[in-house]
Amino acid sequence: MKQDVIIRYQSVRKSFGSKVVLEDLDLEVYRGEAFCIMGPSGCGKSVTIRHIIGLLKPDSGRVEVEGHDMSKIPPADLRALRSRMGYVFQEAALLNSLSAGENVALPLRETTGMGDGEIREKVHAKLALVKVPDVFDKMPSELSGGMKKRVGLARALITDPEIVLYDEPTAGLDPEISASINELMRELATELHVTSVIVTHHVGTVRTVADRVGLLDDGKLNYLGTADSFLHSSEPRLVRFLGAKPD
Ligand SMILES: Nc1ncnc2c1ncn2[C@@H]1O[C@H](COP(=O)(O)OP(=O)(O)OP(=O)(O)O)[C@@H](O)[C@H]1O
Ligand SMILES: [Mg+2]
């Protein structure tokens, strides 16, 4: 079957100063799939997904989202495209001057004409979904790292985006909460056909959420395949990589 490609990297190269992070990255993400990116710390996973929302531009090569070249997309089209995407930052990146609830509400206030009551209702529903139902009026400084992480997740999901980029969504969360976040990501993919790109160090996330996995190292994908073949591979380097990972 011919797959519908929603995100495409073509020979992407990205350096910072003399440090080459992405050397020659080719990758296609299919509409509706959950794609996990794994790889050692510092290999460029966050850099890779930042290209999808146009926060970074390649030095050479191209990144396309929905057929748009992200280096050339006009500002109005970029805004429209971004309104269909959610981004879960590795560091929750909440605004410290706003309550948790107002942080989550922000995308709705900025992009819709929705009234206050409706916004509150939606925010409460999303906070409940990520298992922090009672933090609406708390300030970020009053929240634990794991709670901030989940508020960041609620903010990414508040507009019901079609594409969600998750940067280590379960890092620092206890196993039970991690499992519930994994289930949530799987539900969004299965029931709402959300295209999901998930950076993770957790094998449990690959096992429960991923359709395919890419292993990033030395600036390119060193492995690309289905989650099943990744998890059950007998290739020594994959066995070694997986053996060193927490569940
Ligand atoms: N804006 C930037 N300016 C300069 N260097 C950067 C910038 N962003 C990333 N880097 C460098 O690019 C490399 C890859 O960073 P990146 O954050 O993508 O790693 P990562 O794979 O997400 O690691 P981790 O698993 O620790 O989150 C690192 O060496 C980092 O220092
Ligand atoms: Mg990172």
For residue 43 and ligand 1, the question of a CB distance below 6 A is answered with yes
**138-155: burial string, b at 16+ Cβ within 10 Å, e else:** eebeebeebbbbbbbbbb
Nearest residue by C-alpha to atom 3 in ligand 1: 16
**φ, ψ for residue 62 (rounded to 5)?**
-145, 155
Nearest CA to ligand 1 atom 24: 41
Q: At residue 188, what is the residue type?
A: L
Residues 101 and 125: their CA atoms lie apart, in Å, by 11
Ligand 1 pocket mutation, candidates 41, 46, 56, 87, criterion most atoms within 8 A of CB: 46
| Residue 31 tokens, joined | 């509409």
Residue nearest to atom 9 of ligand 1 (CA): 47
User: Which pair of structure tokens corresponds to residue 95?
Assistant: 């605004």
* Residuewise pLDDT in 10s, the chain (247 residues): 678 999 999 999 999 999 999 999 999 999 999 999 999 999 999 999 999 999 999 999 999 999 999 999 999 999 999 999 999 998 888 999 999 999 999 999 988 889 999 999 999 999 999 999 999 999 999 999 889 999 999 999 999 999 999 999 999 888 998 999 999 999 999 998 999 999 999 999 999 999 999 999 999 999 999 999 999 998 888 888 887 776 6
Contact 39, 12 (CB under 8 A): no
Domains within the chain, CATH numbers bracketed: 5-84+161-243 (3.40.50.300), 95-154 (no CATH)
96 to 64, 101, 132, 135, 219: CA distances (angstroms): 33, 12, 18, 14, 34
